[in-house]
Structure 1
Amino acid sequence: MFSRCSDAELGELASLFVEMPTAAPGQDQVLFDIGQPADSMFLLTDGSAVLESPDDELHFLYPPALLGELGALTGVPRSTKVTVRDATCYRVDALGWQQFLFEHQGFGLRVLRDVLRVAAEKIHRDQIRLGTMRQNAQWTQEGLREVLTAVKEHPGTPISTGIRDAVDALITRNRRLNVRVEPSVTMPASLYLDSGIATVVDLSRSHMSFSSQGPGPQVTRSPAC
C-alpha cells in the first residue's frame, strides 16, 4: 500500500503509528476478533500473525504486513480474528488514519487505488473458489442421487433403510434452496413483530434467522414467510 510513497510522506505516516505493548515470549496476543468494531489499523514489523476466518480457515502473515486496513478505512466490523506471537506491532487509530488521508488527498487517492486493487483481486480469487465449490457440490449431489437410487433398488434391510434416509437428508440439505446469506451492512433487514423489532441475521428461500432486541443474545429460526 505504501510502495509508491515519498520519503516525506512515509515520515509523516510513521508519526501516526504507536508501538504496542508486547505479550510474553511464546504467548499469543489477539489484535482483534470477529465482529469487533474496526477502530484501528496495525503494522506488523516482527514475528508472525494468524488470520482466522469464521469457517476456521487460517492464513499466515509475516512482516512487513498491514492488518485491519480495510476495516480502518470503511468502518465495517472485523470479519476475521487476528492473533500475533513474538511480534512487534504498531497501531494507528482509524479516525487519525482517515484524517491523514483527507489532509493528503494525493496520497489518499493512491492508497484508495491500491486498496481497491487488493479487494478486486480477493473478490476474483473468491469467485474462482466459489465456482469450484459449486461444481464440487453439484458432483456430490449427482453421486448421492446415484447412491440413493442403488439403495432403493435393494430395500427391506435395516442397513439400506438407514443409508437411504441419511443420503436423502444430505441431498435435501445440500440443495441451493437451503443456502443462507447475511443481509448487506448497507441494507440491513428487520422484522416488525408484536413484541418489537428483530434484526435479520441470515435468510434463505425457506428459512430465516433473526435476533430479538431483548436482554441477552437470542436467535430464533423460523420458516420464511
Structure 2
Amino acid sequence: MPRRSPALDRATPGAIAEAALWILDEEGPGALSFRALAERLDVSHATVQRRCVDLAGLLDLCTEHLAARLPDIPPTADWAEATELRFSAFYRLLVAHPGLLVLRGGRPWLGRQLLARLVEPALADSVAAGMSAAEAMTAYRRMYLLTLGSAAFVDHRDPAGATAASRAALAALDPAGFPVLSAGIADVLPALTDHEVYYGALRQLIEAARPAAS
C-alpha cells in the first residue's frame, strides 16, 4: 500500500480553496500566492503547486468550491421562480468574494460544478418551459452577464468605501461639463451599492424572457 502524505492530506482541494478564499477576502487579491497558501496550510510550496499547477488552476479550484454551494431548486418551482432563485444565489456567492472576481477577470466560468448546478438546470428548465435551445442560451447569457457585471462592478463587502470613492470622483467633475452628475450626486450614489438594482434588473430580464408555455 502506498504511503499517504500528511501534507497532501492537509492540502486537499477543499482546504486549498477555503484558504485561498480566506486570503482573498481578508487580505485582498494581491496577497494570494502559493507561498501564502503553503504557510496557511502548513505545507510546502511544492505541495500546493502539485494540487493546482498554476494560478489559473487555483482560481478554478476556488470557483468550483463555491459553485458546489449553489442550491438545488425544488422541482415544483415554476420557471420564473426557479430562474430567480438560481441567479440570485449565484450573485450572492460572487459579491461575497470580490477578490476572486478581480483575479479571474474575463476567464470563463465553465467548471463542472457550475455547469451542473447552474448552467445545465437553467437551460433544461427553459427548454422544458417551451424555449428552443437557442432561446434558452440567449436568456441564460443575458442573466449571467447581468449577474457577473453587477457583482464585479463594485466591492459590495465595502459599500461605504465604494460610495466614498465615487463621491470624491464625482465631486471633482466640472459642473459645466457634467451638470447631471454634479447636481445629482446624492441621488446617483445610492444606486451604486444597492442590491435591489440587480434584483430588479434580473426580474425584468426574467419577465422579458418568460416562455408563453410557462
Q: TM-score when scaled to structure 2?
A: 0.30
Higher RCO (C-alpha 8 Å, min separation 6):
2
Relative to total residues, which structure has the larger helix share, 1 or 2? 2
